Amino acid sequence: MENRLIDNETSFYSKAEEYWKEIPPTVDGMLGGYGSISLIDINGSKKFLQKFLGEGEGKTRPGCALDCGAGIGRITKRLLLPLFRTVDLVDVTQEFLDKACSYLGEEGKRVENYFCCGLQDFQPQLDRYDVIWIQWVIGHLTDEHLVKFLRRCRNALRPDGLIVVKDNVAYEGVVPDEVDSSVCRDLPLLRHIVSRAGLCIICEEQQQNFPEEIYQVHILALR
Ligand SMILES: C[S@@+](CC[C@H](N)C(=O)[O-])C[C@H]1O[C@@H](n2cnc3c(N)ncnc32)[C@H](O)[C@@H]1O
């Protein structure tokens, strides 16, 4: 649907890359000036994820996680490294991954890979990840690329693994953002993309206690 809004796919991606290259490698930079909501965000994510983690039947194991559109590793540092033995990061902006090395500190030794790559081109290793966390980045992919990326993620999951998408949702339709070259989709479209990728939504929640002036943020657990 948003492909009508994206008339030139090449410039959609290159404009986003240019935008992120100019953004400071800080928590505030990752959150568009809303660095103050980072803790609320992380606590909401932790509560959501912990419902699925454990060692029993059907539980997702705390082995290896992939942070997609990881930026400087804000989520890796506060959510994934405390819960998983190892983490990989993937982001299109090399400067953010460079910063992640120092930002993550001592615990960052448990990061196995820093992949500098657009998600539209990224091929996660088959059968490697217990959790694939995709937050505040899906709007940078076209519908087609997002469907294909989610399919590759499904193939990269270990048994009982989980994909989590946490992102802004529009009230209706697709809202383009010319500044960072992204789109914001409504929930029916997002659910349709998930189903086209051959995935099921096993849990869906709205993040609470975010400022009223920003988009609603939803968390979807997929298998
Ligand atoms: C809003 S920031 C979110 C960072 C991180 N997920 C967080 O919540 O702290 C968006 C991130 O997506 C990255 N990004 C933008 N387009 C991308 C693409 N096509 N593939 C991979 N990463 C992308 C940017 O470099 C930036 O780090």
Please state the domain extents for the chain: 2-222
The answer on pLDDT for 5 being more than 70 is: no
For residues 37 and 146, what is the distance between their CA atoms, to the nearest angstrom? 26
The minimum-distance atom of ligand 1 relative to the CA of 32 is 1
How many Cα atoms occupy the beta-carbon half-sphere of 7 within 13 Å? 1
Q: Is 92 annotated as a binding residue?
A: yes
Q: Is 69 annotated as a binding residue?
A: yes
How much distance in Å is there from the Cα of 214 to the middle of ligand 1? 18
For residues 75 and 66, what is the distance between their CA atoms, to the nearest angstrom? 10
The two three-digit tokens of residue 53, written as one number:
């983690």
For 51-113, the DSSP string reads: TTBSSSTTPBPSSEEEEET-TTTHHIIIIIHHH-SEEEEEES-HHHHHHHHHHTGGGGGGEEE
Residue-averaged pLDDT of the chain: 96
Structure confidence at residue 55 (pLDDT): 86
Q: Is 91 annotated as a binding residue?
A: yes
Q: What are phi and psi of 189, to 5 degrees?
A: -70, -40
Structure confidence at residue 155 (pLDDT): 98
- Per-residue pLDDT tens digits for 21-77: 999 999 999 999 999 999 999 999 999 999 999 988 999 999 999 999 999 999 999
- Per-residue pLDDT tens digits for 133-182: 999 999 999 999 999 999 999 999 999 999 999 999 999 999 999 999 99
Q: Is 135 annotated as a binding residue?
A: yes
Length of the chain in terms of residues written: 223
Confidence of residue 6 (pLDDT cuts 50, 70, 90): confident
Q: Are 134 and 99 in contact (CB under 8 A)?
A: no
The CATH class of 2-222 is alpha beta
How much distance in Å is there from the Cα of 71 to the middle of ligand 1? 5
Confidence of residue 4 (pLDDT cuts 50, 70, 90): low
Maximum separation of any 2 CA atoms in the chain, in Å: 48
Sheet of 129-135: strand order equals 111-116, 86-91, 64-68, 129-135, 157-169, 216-222, 201-206
Instruction: Report residues whose beta carbon is within 6 angstroms of any ligand 1 atom.
Output: 16, 20, 30, 69-71, 74-75, 91-93, 96, 118-120, 135-137, 140
How much distance in Å is there from the Cα of 198 to the middle of ligand 1? 24
pTM of the predicted model as reported, rounded to 2 decimal places:
0.97
